[in-house]
Amino acid sequence: MFPGIKELVEKMNSEKGSSLIETIVALALLGIISVAFLGALATTSNSRLIADEHVSARILAESQLEYIKKQTYAFSYDPVPIPAEYAGYSATIDVDNLRNGNIQKITVTVRHHDKDIETLESYKLNR
């Protein structure tokens, strides 16, 4: 055998119970790491859902504004029907007439499950 191996083996054999303590410590560390990983995974999943909600609301708000810009000048505008794949979303359009009614400030607010998600503003001129 290699020199020193015999002494090392004898020392390990004389330390009874240390493997049980080492196993308990290893399991505790594994548990702590697992809890931290699962917490990070839950946070990431929640962040992804919020980001997806904001992107969907932004798309809907921009499509509402583009539709209004193509319409003839009026004192109020009806929102475009929201596609079925955006269930739970709704849009409201507010029109403020400025400068003797020749300029309009148009505000589109998109809500998801009764919570404001995105608000876009634009102006329209009476030409």
pTM for the predicted model, two decimal places = 0.69
**What's the gap between Cα 69 and its chain centre?**
30
For 93, other C-beta atoms within 10 Å of its C-beta total 18
In 3D space, the residue among 113, 121, 120 whose CA is nearest the CA of residue 53 turns out to be 113
The pLDDT score that the predictor gives to residue 91 is 94
What percent of the chain clears pLDDT 70, i.e. is strictly above it? Answer: 90
Q: Is-contact 71 42, C-beta < 8 A? A: no
How high does pLDDT run on average in the chain?
Answer: 88
The contacts of residue 113 (CB under 8 Å, 6+ apart) are 88
Over residues 7-66, the pLDDT tens digits come to 767 766 665 656 788 889 999 999 999 999 999 999 999 999 999 999 999 999 999 999
DSSP lists the bridge partners of residue 107 as 94, 121
Beta strands across the sheet bearing 116-125: 89-98, 103-112, 116-125
